[in-house]
Chains A and B, each alone.
Chain A
Amino acid sequence: MALQSLDIKRRSATTTPSPSVRKIPEVAKLIDISKCIGCKACQVACMEWNDLRDDIGTNRGVYDNPPDLSDRSWTVMRFAEVEPTPGRLEWLIRKDGCMHCADPGCLKSCPAPGAIIQYSNGIVDFHQEACVGCGYCVMGCPFNIPRLSRKDGKAYKCTLCSDRVAVGQEPACAKTCPTGAIVFGSKEDMLEHAAGRIADLRERGFALAGVYNPTGVSGTHVMYVLQHADRPTLYQGLPRDPGISPLVVLWKEIAKTLMSIGLGAAVVGGIVHYLSQGPNEVPEEEEETS
């Protein structure tokens, strides 16, 4: 259940307005990839605060560990060795996890009322007690973030530590980051902070440094500072122009509304036909002449 300090902006599978009288400022987490040293303290802090212990995996010969997000690993560091310009090797380390989109594809796809909610501060949270385990959020997400648990069939992902934020604390990952690569505050402040970092990076030769706050999902509440903002795919496939898939929009917005009206129309059509034409009976004269 939402705490009072986390008022609801949008609720999955709900057609009436959510409680929206009060307004709280939008928050954001800013991840400065140029400052990240890949220590994974954020992964540990996430496990620690959220009481999560993933299965111990196997060494796959790369630094990514665990290799992917899971129901118990809500954030992972993704390491990329790239040559943005020939001969210049760069090690780009991206902390992956929920982006907390302003227009969340998971919420749009979810058929269970209240299983996914968006607080007015921008955090998108899963309420597992209302989750039915259909996996639609997995299909709706443009960033491939939610994971269904094999243990309980519920979907899990980063909460942006909504429980900490509700009482005025920053997320556990931001609290623990030793280099200050993860910072948290109001979205406005974070954009301002990013602008300063970008100016600094540009001075240092990263001419195309920029902030990742994609407009295709109406902006996000987890943003990155990228050294190469023109090529987000360098960072282990960060999508260039993410947005809710047109198939999901067709499915959730257009088809289902039209089809629900169509079904109602078919029923009404039957009633009108019966009342105007009456039943199809064998004529009496046929019965007589048989």
Chain B
Amino acid sequence: MNTHALIQRHSASERLNHWLVALTFVLAGLSGLGFFHPVFFWLTGLFGGGTWARILHPFFGAVLALSFFVWAGREWKDNRIVAADWQWAKRMGDVLRNRTDNLPPLGKYNLGQKLLTRTMLVAILLLLASGILIWQPWFAPEFAIAQRRIAVVVHAGAAFVALIGFIVHVYAAYWTRGSIRAMTRGTVTRTWARHHSADWYKKIAE
């Protein structure tokens, strides 16, 4: 069998969905970081200054939430946690040291990816809900100041979790060689699939 044969991992529509999420995440993230701490305020310059960043940020966020919910919905069936995932998690130390022999065969996604989907889902839901409470000038005036004070703390906390999730996700994609093409070209090599997603590969190969 040709070891470099390619198999489809993400359809064009999945890829477009993913990159819409990625683009809006980066835009919302950079504009939001500008308000997160003074050391990041210069980032608002990327959007035309503080006022433009404030105006645009919630719209980036709203598109992000919408496109992420579509993404999570269509990927949910491959994100169910199964027994093999916990076997894999027990050998996390080996995984991080690139000692990948005799890891349990996994489905399309590993536990890290599945937990990331869940983490992002919760974080983005919280960001959306708290973001509406502080969205000037449209919705914020409708809410009590005491409610908005809770919302800003929730918004900052959820944004932190989402940003950590983002950093982990981007690094893991870079670290795990051969993964990025799954989301750019849509395909992975046969050996990649067998190595990282043996159960998924078996199903596809049938």
Q: Does A85 lie at the interface of the complex (its beta carbon under 8 Å from any beta carbon of B)?
A: no
Query: Which residue in B157, B164, B191 is a CB contact (below 8 Å) of A287?
Result: B191
Q: How large is the interface on A (under 10, 10 to 19, 20 to 34, 35 or more residues)?
A: 35 or more
Interface of chain A residues 237 through 287 with chain B (CB within 8 A): 245, 247-248, 250-251, 255-257, 259-260, 262-263, 266-267, 270, 273-274, 277-283, 286-287
- The 19 sampled A-B contact pairs (Cβ below 8 Å) are A112-B41, A132-B49, A132-B51, A133-B136, A134-B134, A135-B148, A136-B152, A138-B148, A153-B136, A247-B149, A251-B149, A255-B157, A260-B36, A263-B160, A270-B167, A270-B171, A274-B171, A279-B175, A282-B192
Q: Does A13 lie at the interface of the complex (its beta carbon under 8 Å from any beta carbon of B)?
A: yes
- List 7 A-B pairs, minimum CB-CB distance, nearest first: A132-B50, A270-B171, A13-B38, A111-B35, A259-B160, A247-B149, A282-B195
Pair A111/B41 contact, Cβ less than 8 Å: yes
| Other contacts beyond A136-B152, A139-B145, A280-B100: 20, CB < 8 A | A15-B39, A131-B51, A133-B137, A134-B35, A135-B137, A139-B152, A148-B137, A247-B149, A251-B153, A259-B37, A259-B157, A260-B36, A260-B40, A263-B164, A273-B171, A279-B177, A280-B175, A282-B196, A286-B191, A286-B195
| A residues in contact with B34, CB < 8 Å | 111
Query: Which residue in B41, B51, B177 is a CB contact (below 8 Å) of A280?
Result: B177
Pair B149/A139 contact, Cβ less than 8 Å: yes
| A residues in contact with B141, CB < 8 Å | 148
Supposing A132-B50, A153-B136 touch, asked if A256 and B145 sit within 8 A by C-beta, the answer is no
Query: Which residue in A113, A267, A273, A274 is a CB contact (below 8 Å) of B41?
Result: A113
1/0 per residue, CB under 8 A from A, across B135-157: the answer is 01100110001001110110011
Q: Does B81 lie at the interface of the complex (its beta carbon under 8 Å from any beta carbon of A)?
A: no
